[in-house]
Amino acid sequence: MTLIEILKAKGKEDPEIIAAKINGQPADLNTPVTEGTEIEWINISSPEGLEVLRHSTSHLMAQAVKELYPEVRVTIGPAIEDGFYYDFDCEKTFTADDLIRIEKRMKELAGKNMAIERMEMPKEEAIKLFDKMGENYKVEIISEIPDKTVSCYKQGDFLDLCRGPHIPSTGRIRSFKLLNTAGAYWRGDENNRMLQRIYGTAFPTQTELDNYLDKLEEIKKRDHRKLGKELDLFSIHDDIGAGLILWHPKGAIIRKTIEDFWREEHLRHGYKLLYSPHIAKLDLWKTSGHTEFYQANMYKPMEVEGQDFQLKPMNCPFHIMIYKSKLNSYRDLPIRWAELGTVYRYERSGVLHGLLRVRGFTQDDAHIFCRPDQIQDEITSILDFTVELLTTYGFDRYDIYLSTRPEKYVGTVDNWEKATDALRNALEIKGLPYQIDPGEGVFYGPKIDIKIKDVLDRAWQCTTIQVDFNLPEKFSLSYVGEDGRQHQPIMIHRALMGSLERFFGILIEHYAGAFPLWLSPVQVKVLPITDKQNEYAEEVRHNLDSAGVRVETDNRNEKIGHKIREAQLEKIPYMFIIGGREAESRNVAVRMRKEGDIGALPLEEAVNKVTQEISLKR
């Protein structure tokens, strides 16, 4: 008896159930089972159900493409977060009109409600079959499968290699949308042929799809690259190089505000500040292991007076050398050092993305050298610091992961267990919910990763806290213990924001460019209605400037409505509007970005209102 027959027999046939788990393994509803089998039904709205739906929709798209463009060869089409894609080998480049045509054909095929059937066949038979079909990519994939048999799925005349599971029929695919196209190398290797990738998404209901598409439109409006240009915050120029950021005055003043706050808070939390150079001898990176483990992300060395120097991909070795510059005692630990250190990493041009993926960036880096018995307290302190800092920027929702020992690691199992327990205990002491990410620790130690959630509920990797047994050993670090002997310290790597560039990009999108007052590049714009108020407007500007407020005056010969609209487009938090009445009474008419007009206030009171809000970092 098949799973779907069991549902019918029990009177539980439900269009929401699209697959199942048999003894924990995903399976199609047409899968036969024996009595006593453990069955867990998969609902279309569950994470597993969405994955099945979207993977089935990618097959439907591939079928439509093959019917419309028979010369196309198919490759792979997985479900991904929020959707799916399929890669095609074809001479033409798919256009927006092609996507409309493909989507229309998909709807026609879905309307036929074709059964989706699983077929298993010997590997050699499958190779012959796909070779006859001219699908050489499928032949390549099958050739690498170690099993003697492979599974395929058939719907109408379309056959595709796939492990499954899939929904029972195409009729259950109702709410989908093709989104965009992109180029993609076969298997991600730039030495292979460039393919055409079509992205799409699918949901159980049209309402869910519409909500998702509305969210995508909002994401487009908030795109930091678009807003960065409109608000004159930063730019990237081909003449300088891809992935290298130019900070314009308005972006630079926000960066300075972030840096000043960062330094003040680190000093308050017991850190000392460091600065290090941008290059070092290549031998340093050989000792650290970067040339072995991170070579693909490092630029080629440069020769200086017969010696090879390397642009730094990380700051860690510099902090280590400062530690080694003197003898340290157990009484000196923990040592907390922080640096806004600019690093350089090679990223392929295809993955560069505005501020979010760059080739030169500044890490809010810190390293803590401590004794093994101090790890838990240090981690707890870092977590407190992280929550304080991120909350100040408006982020109070997180996804937290504790990554444990991988298969390949350095150090002793005992040290790994102690460090992992310290990380776990610190999270539990602080009451922070977390997920275990088994085996995903870095080779030198376990770690905590914190992903912040923005206003659109998107997760962004920012904070990382890593325990390191490797570098202290490689660089022979030590401290004199209470017993008078040499002991090896534990090194904790941590970054709270990740990088200034990426964090700034996240802030732009989180606030849609309408930064809170304390971060805004221009906090107040003074708007005289006519030239007659220019003298008083200058006095207002001077008072604000003297109070430490970032202020500009718009004294152009334009109508006040035009000036207000422009200030609104520039997302200025406060506007002080000055007409004849305000100049005579030494008031200002206050207009706020969100609240609109709030009435006239005496100048001193208006300035105090702004400075108090800035001090509270609102």
Catalytic positions are: 316, 345, 363, 365, 367, 447, 493
Exposure string over 10-36, b if 16+ CB within 10 A, otherwise e: eeeeeeebbbbebeeebbbbbbebeee
Residues 6+ apart with CB under 8 A from 316: 288, 367, 471, 491, 493
What 3-state DSSP class applies to 304?
A: strand
Q: Please check whether residue 589 is in contact with residue 578, taking contact to mean a CB–CB distance below 8 angstroms.
A: yes
Cα 4 to Cα 20: distance, rounded to the nearest angstrom: 10
With tokens 């992992």, the residue in question is 420
How do strand 551-553 and strand 524-528 relate by DSSP bridges? parallel
Q: Please check whether residue 201 is in contact with residue 177, taking contact to mean a CB–CB distance below 8 angstroms.
A: yes
Compute how many other C-beta atoms are within 10 angstroms of the C-beta atom of residue 63: 22
Sheet holding 551-553, edge to edge: 551-553, 524-528, 574-578, 587-592, 596-602
Structural Rg of the chain based on CA atoms: 30
Cα 307 to Cα 281: distance, rounded to the nearest angstrom: 7
Cα 167 to Cα 27: distance, rounded to the nearest angstrom: 10
With tokens 């240090």, the residue in question is 378
Cα 618 to Cα 392: distance, rounded to the nearest angstrom: 8
Q: Which two tokens stand for residue 250?
A: 């308005």
How do strand 79-80 and strand 459-468 relate by DSSP bridges? unpaired
Cα 440 to Cα 449: distance, rounded to the nearest angstrom: 11
- Angle separating helix axes 96-111 and 47-68, nearest 10 degrees: 110
Apex CA 204: angle with CA 203 and CA 210, to 5°?
Answer: 50
Cα 92 to Cα 278: distance, rounded to the nearest angstrom: 45
Q: Please check whether residue 219 is in contact with residue 456, taking contact to mean a CB–CB distance below 8 angstroms.
A: yes
Q: Which two tokens stand for residue 213?
A: 């598409």
With tokens 């534990």, the residue in question is 490
Report the C-alpha dihedral over residues 254, 257, 258, 264, rounded to 10 degrees. 180
Tell me the C-alpha to C-alpha distance, in Å, between residue 82 and each of 55, 475, 547: 11, 44, 48
Q: Please check whether residue 383 is in contact with residue 430, taking contact to mean a CB–CB distance below 8 angstroms.
A: yes
What 3-state DSSP class applies to 18?
A: strand
Compute how many other C-beta atoms are within 10 angstroms of the C-beta atom of residue 397: 12
End-to-end CA distance of the chain: 63
